[in-house]
Amino acid sequence: MPELPVRDLLELDRRHVWHPYGPMPGRAEPLVVESASGVRLRMADGSGELVDGMSSWWSAIHGYNHPVLNEAVRDQLERMSHVMFGGLTHEPAVRLAKRLVDMSPDGLEHVFLADSGSVSVEVAVKMCLQYWRSLGRPAKQRLLTWRGGYHGDTWQPMSVCDPEGGMHELWSGVLPRQVFADAPPVAYEESYADHLRELIERHADDLAAVIVEPVVQGAGGMRFHSPAYLRVLREACDAHGVLLVFDEIATGFGRTGTLFAADQAGVTPDVMCVGKALTGGYMTMAATLCTSRVADGISRGEVPVLAHGPTFMGNPLASAVACASIDLLLGQDWATEVKRIETGLREGLSAAADLPGVRDVRVLGAIGVVQLDHEVDMAAATRAAVAEGVWLRPFRDLVYTMPPYITGDDDLARIGRGVCAAVGAG
Ligand SMILES: *Cc1c(COP(=O)(O)O)cnc(C)c1O
């Protein structure tokens, strides 16, 4: 048991600790986790264990307390937990960069190691703007994206989040004003492809880049779309001199059924962000990859360097566990596991389609989504899932799950029951 009684811990938490998207002092009481192992979170209040349906926000793909990942951290800890990356380098970071180059779409050759997903998106935007500045085109500084996206919570990423869900109202006049296309339809529609082409052509003189989440839009609404739109973007960007950025922070490392969602379209972006599952959920780390064209462009400029360098850039512990997580993933038949989870989610979530208030049920890879016709009652929905022994974090009109790839069939069925219970209660 933790030294602090749970009641005292919760009172201190409420008074002093900000939680994601939370007020201060806190209103909703969080659950206290004592430890986690496999797909289970053990609660500190003695209430037992919950099957994690969230992979700690897409990240813990191999589950918790994994012996191989633990060993990688322990082994690196004995050598060094951190050294600065300016003027120094080390094997874990170099090995990680090489792995990322090898596994990502062909043409992505250079890796910037960042400390969170949002920072990797900032770096991606900086790369694109600087590329055009270096080429003597400083007017090309706006971004185009489609509605319904989510790219993180720092300023540039916020400016390309969905303008309705992303608090744009609150920050109007402060955020850079970007160009928004309509949200992508699920299936391929030529009229929507034309809409994308038309916007890119019209704004080409101002646009540094198009930035999108490929195939699955995550926290902006959990919407799926045809990979064919990515080819439309690639062609239109090439035709009009605009860079293309894929934010694969949620979709990367197998989640949608391919290693990267870009693989479903056979498209290489100019810049690509990865994060979340990069370290198997062990440490905070993300990366921005780019092509040689982007790197060469920046290097030919008046300021021939990328002026970005987080203190904890390339952290050896995070790099070592990221390498171990990637090896663990690639060393197994991960595609079959993701397929198995897709099948399990389809079965488990099919019952939700008949529940009142359900607008849509959709599954892709190891992602299952139930969309309601109303705002979910988060507290009631969470309680109902917990009563089924499942941890879920519904938001807006969505009850959704992206379980660890190691989730067994019984636990998948349990997650299905948890989702349905949350839908029924929320
Ligand atoms: C989570 C997420 C981010 C932000 O990553 P953080 O590590 O939370 O800063 C950016 N883009 C996408 C697509 C994400 O899912």
CA gap 168, 221 in Å, rounded: 16
pLDDT at residue 13 greater than cutoff 80: yes
CA gap 273, 179 in Å, rounded: 20
pLDDT at residue 2 greater than cutoff 60: no
User: Buried (b) or exposed (e) across 319-339, using 16+ Cβ within 10 A?
Assistant: bbbbbbbbebbeeeebeebbe
CA gap 227, 267 in Å, rounded: 9
**Which of 58, 224, 249 for a ligand 1 pocket mutation test, highest count of atoms within 8 Å of Cβ?**
249
Residue 121 Cα to ligand 1 middle (Å): 8
Indicate which residue's Cα is closest to atom 3 of ligand 1. Answer: 152
Confidence of residue 3 (pLDDT cuts 50, 70, 90): confident
Least confident of 127-136, 172-181, 245-254, 410-419: 172-181
- 191-223, pLDDT tens digit by residue? 999 999 999 999 999 999 999 999 999 999 999
Cβ–Cβ < 8 Å for 398, 373: no
Whether 249 lines ligand 1, by a CB cut-off of 6 Å, is: yes
Confidence of residue 95 (pLDDT cuts 50, 70, 90): very high
Indicate which residue's Cα is closest to atom 7 of ligand 1. Answer: 117
Count the Cβ atoms, other than its own, within 10 Å of residue 167. Answer: 15
Q: Is the dihedral of CA 398, 402, 403, 404 positive or negative?
A: negative
**Residue 268 has which token pair?**
């290489």
Confidence of residue 426 (pLDDT cuts 50, 70, 90): confident
Query: Is there a binding annotation on residue 311?
Result: yes
Q: Which domains does the chain possess? A: 31-65+333-424 (3.90.1150.10), 69-331 (3.40.640.10)
- 318-356, pLDDT tens digit by residue? 999 999 999 999 999 999 999 999 999 999 999 999 999
10 Å CB burial of residue 76 (0-12, 13-18, 19+) is buried
- Report how far apart, in Å, the C-alpha atoms of 349 and of each of 38, 216, 355, 387 are: 22, 18, 11, 17
What is the average pLDDT value for the chain, to the nearest integer? 96
- Cα end-to-end distance, the chain, whole Å: 32
High-pLDDT (> 90) share of the chain, %: 95
Output the pLDDT for position 166: 64
Strand segments (E) across 346-412: 358-364, 367-372, 390-391, 398-401
- 268-306, pLDDT tens digit by residue? 999 999 999 999 999 999 999 999 999 999 999 999 999
High-pLDDT (> 70) share of the chain, %: 99
Whether 215 lines ligand 1, by a CB cut-off of 6 Å, is: no
Please state the rounded mean pLDDT for residues 30-58.
Answer: 97
Query: Is there a binding annotation on residue 309?
Result: yes
β partners of residue 243: 209
Residue 250 Cα to ligand 1 middle (Å): 7
- Nearest to residue 238, comparing CAs of 261, 262, 216, 270? 270
Atom of ligand 1 nearest to the CA of 275: 7
Whether 217 lines ligand 1, by a CB cut-off of 6 Å, is: no
pLDDT at residue 383 greater than cutoff 60: yes
pLDDT at residue 107 greater than cutoff 80: yes
